[in-house]
Amino acid sequence: MISGKKILLCVSGGIAVYKAAALTSKLVQAGAEVKVIMSHSAIEFVSPLTFQALSRNDVFFDTFDEKNSKVIAHIDLADWADLVLVAPATANVIGKLANGIADNMLTTTLLATTAKVWIAPAMNVHMYDNPAVQKNIQTLYNYGYEFIEPSEGFLACGYIGKGRLEEPEKILTLVSNYFEKREHGEPLKNVKVLITAGPTREKVDPVRYFTNHSSGKMGYAIAEQAAKLGANVTLITGPTSVDFPNYVHVIKVESADEMYQQVMNYYPNADVVIKSAAVADYRPIHTFEQKMKKSQDHLVIEMEKTTDILKELGMKKRQQILVGFAAETNDLEQYAKKKLQSKNLDLIVANNITTEGAGFGTDTNIVTIYDRNLTKTELPLLTKTEVARKLLEKVQSLVKGVKE
């Protein structure tokens, strides 16, 4: 989605300038056309030649150095950009921009552009928390500027706290998401989507628990793609090692009961519910506060059923669109259709987990989607991201039908 996009990178002075060089490289590798403006302080950290080599374009830092006599450089750059990134953004640049001060090439161009401007602060944690800096950030928020929040960690000054420039890889992902939204629009804008993902854990004692092989990758992919389509996404997830998606409200749970409680809490206000979590069907009747010791050759643990969350949702369904998953090892179509009808679903996504490329933990899936009329859509081997997009296309149609 970045290929061919024009990105103006404004680099102000701070130790994080080295990350701006890495960001330039990653943007260019992704196909973007990048032009760089540097403040004089930024030049003290990294030379313009570095950015020139990485961007393959002239670097601008002097308001009065007109490289092309046919245009005014700062106006031409301001008009050229599809997106402007200020990274790193110092407290000084943020303050100047908030107060309309244009005293160098960087701030002059920023005040002249009508493109979307993203600001990525980087500074000492106490500077970032200073009321004056926070007031300037709030002012820019009110003006319509967007911020890439700094991350927490070890700072160059020796402090540990919030103030590190976000990593170039994360910024690249955010930029890609931005252009994808612009390309495809936001068909799920203001739609509240509730998604469950991952496994649950049913405690036996402080050391042991029952669980399953679900990685959460499918549910996380759906959450990420739904957010890209403009949805307000809440993701209720069991324990996984997958990175949380961007722009998603995440609620972490462990047991089936915890997932049930959270799902039922959010369900009344949801427009769409996609239940991809692999929730335990049974849990131990008795659990132990202390670790069980080996005392015999055989151990019997009595189990009881957990609440069938999907069935409960189907019974309580009002306006919601309800999507379930059926991970089976045999008789896939029979079980999927039965689950679709018995649990009052609008769609069910069925896959045979014994098929190569379709099991737990993989980055791919092979699924068949059934609707209420038992019409099926068979998908070939796709990445889980692609499966998520195909599923959400069907969800969009259902949402549109409800609205009409």
Give the pLDDT confidence of 249-288 residue by residue, as tens digits: 999 999 999 999 999 999 999 999 999 999 999 999 999 9
**Alpha helices, H only, 233-331:** 256-266, 309-316
Q: Given pLDDT bands bounded at 50, 70 and 90, which one contains residue 16? A: very high
Model confidence at 53: pLDDT above 70: yes
Q: How far is CA 242 from the centre of its chain?
A: 11
* The CATH number of the domain covering residues in 6-181: 3.40.50.1950
* Fold equal for 6-181 and 186-403: yes
- pLDDT in the model for residue 67: 84
Q: How far is CA 192 from the centre of its chain?
A: 16
Closest CA to 107 of 231, 10, 13: 10
Closest CA to 115 of 82, 71, 73, 66: 82
First to last CA, the chain: 31
Closest CA to 347 of 327, 376, 386: 376
26 near 170, Cβ under 8 Å?
no
Q: Does the domain spanning 186-403 belong to CATH 3.60.15.10?
A: no
97 near 74, Cβ under 8 Å?
no
- pLDDT in the model for residue 142: 84
Query: What is the SS3 assignment for 397?
Result: helix
- pLDDT in the model for residue 158: 67
Phi/psi for 88 (5° steps) reads -80, 155
Residue type, 25: S
Q: For 206, which DSSP code? A: S
Q: Could you tell me which residues are annotated as the binding site for CTP?
A: 281, 291, 325, 339, 343
Mean of pLDDT values over 31-54: 96
Active-site residues: which are they? 157
Strand duo 368-371 + 376-378: pairing: antiparallel
Per-residue tokens: 370: 């059934």
Helix axes 168-184, 217-228, angle to 10 degrees: 60
Other Cβ atoms within 10 Å of 282 Cβ, number: 14
Q: What is the pTM of this model?
A: 0.62
In tens, the pLDDT along 72-89 reads 889 999 999 999 999 999
- pLDDT in the model for residue 297: 85
In tens, the pLDDT along 111-142 reads 999 999 999 999 988 889 899 999 999 899 88
CB-count burial class (<10 Å; 0-12, 13-18, 19+) for 252: middle
Query: Which residues lie closer than 8 Å to 112 by C-beta, 6 or more apart?
Result: 74, 75, 78
Residue with tokens 């859509």: 377
- pLDDT in the model for residue 277: 96
Mean of pLDDT values over 354-365: 88
User: What is the spatial distance between Cα 247 and Cα 193, in angstroms, rounded to a whole number?
Assistant: 12
In tens, the pLDDT along 290-344 reads 998 888 888 899 999 999 999 999 999 998 999 999 999 999 999 999 999 999 9
Q: For 356, which DSSP code? A: T
Give 235's strand partners. 195, 250
Q: From residue 332, how far is each of 101, 171, 339, 355, 372 by CA, in Å?
A: 65, 41, 11, 11, 16
- pLDDT in the model for residue 146: 86
Phi/psi for 142 (5° steps) reads -65, -30
Ranges of each domain in the chain: 6-181, 186-403
